[in-house]
Amino acid sequence: MKTVFLGALVIAAAMPAYSQDSTETRNHFTISGYVESYYVQDFHKTENHTLPGFIYNHNRTNEVNLNLAMLRGSYNTDRLRANISLAAGTYMNANYAAEPGVLKNIYEANAGIKLAKNHNLWLDAGIMPSHIGFESAIGKDNWMLTRSLMAENTPYFESGAKLGYTSNNEKWYLSAMYLNGWQRIQRVDGNSTPAFGTQVTFKPASYVTLNYSTFIGSDKPDSLRQMRYYHNVYGIFQLSEKWGITTGFDIGSEQNQKGSSSYNTWYVPVLIARFSVSPKFNIAARGEYYHDKKGVIIATASDHGFQTYGLSINCDYAISSQVMWRMEARHLNSRDAIFNGASDKLTRNKTYMTTAITFALN
């Protein structure tokens, strides 16, 4: 991690050499922000006001709370770029729980340099958004208010170095990453094994996006090393001015113990359809399934592990160009009784409604 931050600092230190004066620097520097508050009505109330542990966004129930408040500063020129974002909220509490000290509030901190004058080839280093999945922590950018089970249980962020290339016609994006782990800023104690990632994105037309991302590495100390291999595939299709479809399929495998040739496998399909009633009003629905029988990612004490279907319906209304009101109903159904219900009894079903207000400062 020290090497990554050193690289980021070296790149950032070079910025003044590319700026002619303070006026130009101000022209290249922008500030943006995002705030999302929410309320979750859990129809199977629990005393701790918390959704199941595999839900990391909007996870506090029956209370008004803050999912994410983020302030971002960005610097961009033809040859250099840098971003730093500080954030707070229940999203940060859940996703950064393993990080020490002030790292718990760093949403993003990275810097990059363009390596070729006539080609869009960049080297970036630091804390960056994940290269896996089509959903991010910025709610307004997602078709649904809540995140899919796929998104909630893959990295939202990663730290390391990334070499990325965009073709001149902007149809292809290729990248390779050296990472500190599976959603890690600081590497796990006792782990000396780097992780690696790749991403290929193809946009044959303005209304089609196809993506394939991978992760290879171990997220455990060397004494317990279990190699993990993950594949993320998705497509986004804008079928017409009003209709859009996003479909994805993830599959992962991990050694069941160090040095073993046997692997535990999990897979996650998801489908989202969105209909734009008007430029300000959108309706979306999501169907999903998460199969993790051996509990590699989502551990349960049940006989069949985590085998859960989900159905969600979402409505969005843009109050203004900066403010959006969202509402979503979600139902999860598991093969085994794994959800906490009334009187601390376990149940196979979990139903809840979420409403949120988002504000974006661009």
Q: Which pLDDT tens digit goes with each residue over 8-64?
A: 444 444 444 444 455 556 689 999 999 999 999 998 777 788 999 999 999 999 999
Contact status, residue 22 vs residue 15, Cβ threshold 8 Å: no
Q: What is the pLDDT of residue 18?
A: 44
Out of 5-9, 130-134, 151-155, pick the least confident: 5-9
**What three-state secondary structure class fits 318?**
strand
Q: Classify the C-alpha dihedral 360-32-248-132 as positive or negative.
A: negative
Q: How far apart are CA 326 and CA 144, in angstroms?
A: 9
Contact status, residue 62 vs residue 95, Cβ threshold 8 Å: no
The tokens for 253 are 């495998």
Q: Which pLDDT tens digit goes with each residue over 251-281?
A: 999 999 988 899 999 999 999 999 999 999 9
Specify the residue for token string 């890690």: 184
The tokens for 241 are 């001015």
Q: What is the pLDDT of residue 129?
A: 97
Q: What is the pLDDT averaged over residues 140-165?
A: 97
Q: Which pLDDT tens digit goes with each residue over 288-319?
A: 999 999 999 999 989 999 999 999 999 999 99
Structural domains of the chain ordered from first start: 2-361 (2.40.160.10)
Out of 16-30, 144-158, 185-199, 200-214, pick the least confident: 16-30
Q: What is the pLDDT of residue 6?
A: 43
Contact status, residue 180 vs residue 193, Cβ threshold 8 Å: no
Q: What is the pLDDT of residue 57?
A: 97
List Cα–Cα distances, 89 to 57, 148, 322, 345, 358, in angstroms: 10, 19, 20, 30, 13
Q: What is the pLDDT of residue 253?
A: 97
Task: Indicate the pLDDT class of residue 343, thresholds 50, 70 and 90.
Answer: low
For residue 128, count CB atoms less than 10 angstroms from its CB and return exposed for 0-12, middle for 13-18, buried for 19 or more: buried
CA nearest neighbour of 109 among 73, 151, 57, 154: 73
Q: What is the pLDDT of residue 47?
A: 74
DSSP strands (E only) in 147-240: 157-166, 172-179, 195-205, 208-217, 228-238
Q: What is the pLDDT of residue 12?
A: 45
Q: How far apart are CA 348 and CA 304, in angstroms?
A: 12
Q: What is the pLDDT of residue 24?
A: 57
- Our measurement of the distance from residue 133's CA atom to the centroid of its chain's CA atoms, rounded to an integer in Å, reads 7
The tokens for 334 are 């598991």
Task: Indicate the pLDDT class of residue 88, thresholds 50, 70 and 90.
Answer: very high
Query: Is the pLDDT at 208 greater than 60, yes or no?
Result: yes
**What three-state secondary structure class fits 216?**
strand
Q: What is the pLDDT of residue 14?
A: 46
Out of 14-18, 91-95, 109-113, 242-246, pick the least confident: 14-18
Q: How high does pLDDT run on average in the chain?
A: 92
Q: What is the pLDDT of residue 220?
A: 92
Q: What is the pLDDT of residue 26?
A: 67
Q: What is the pLDDT of residue 11?
A: 44
Contact status, residue 319 vs residue 333, Cβ threshold 8 Å: no
